Amino acid sequence: MISRYVDLDVRPILRAGGEPFAAIMEAIGRLAPDEGLRLFANFKPTPLFAVLGARGFGNEAIEMGGGDWQVLFYPTGEADAYAPVDSNSDWPAPVRNVDGRDLDPPEPMVNILAAIEAMPTGEVLAALLGREPVFLFPELAKRGHAWRGGFDADGTTYRLLIRIGGKDAKP
């Protein structure tokens, strides 16, 4: 049960042309188990619903008018099926690397999917990305691959590891 919501207004960041994702993830990371996040944005942040859903957060979006939105994110206790695998697992070193930091969507996803098609079961691909690849996760799950990833401490690079699935792959 939520005892209180922590407010985060990202509208000034967005109006200045900035990317608020790191601030949002930092705020989520600081929440106590009984707290939720009340996010204010100047658009409905639909892609964020899947990202935080993968981390076990539900949401309620409320249009405030003038294009502004208030979204309540609250812990549900259940992570989404597309959540990355446990980062403590023992995976082999990556055999392929993809750097998609300077590419516009959907190029990083297309490049990663093409690269993993040529890899045998059990091998690992490492990717550097400029944003969390929320649309890639369902594709990886559909193909039976495991992954883990997260932003660097500065929030600018998302590091992703993908272990090629199949009957011999161990997440």
The CATH number of residue 37's host domain is 3.30.110
Residue 39 belongs to domain spanning: 4-75
Structural domain includes residue 169: no
Question: With contact defined as beta carbons under 8 Å apart, do 165 and 145 qualify?
Answer: yes
Which of 54-58, 140-144, 154-158, 162-166 has the highest mean predicted lDDT (pLDDT)? 140-144
Model pLDDT, residue 40: 98
pLDDT digits (tens, 9 = 90+) for 29-82: 899 989 999 999 999 998 788 778 767 888 999 999 999 999 999 998 765 444
Smallest CA-to-CA distance from 72 within 48, 93, 96 is with 48
What residues contact residue 18 under an 8 Å CB cut-off, 6+ apart? none
Residue 8 has pLDDT above 60, yes or no: yes
The Cα–Cα gap between 161 and 132 comes to 12
- Would you give the DSSP letter of residue 95? S
The Cα–Cα gap between 40 and 42 comes to 7
Residue 171 has pLDDT above 50, yes or no: no
pTM recorded for the entire structure: 0.51
Same domain, 105 and 49: no
Structural domain includes residue 41: yes
Number of domains in the chain: 2
Structural domain includes residue 20: yes
* Maximal CA-CA distance, the chain: 53
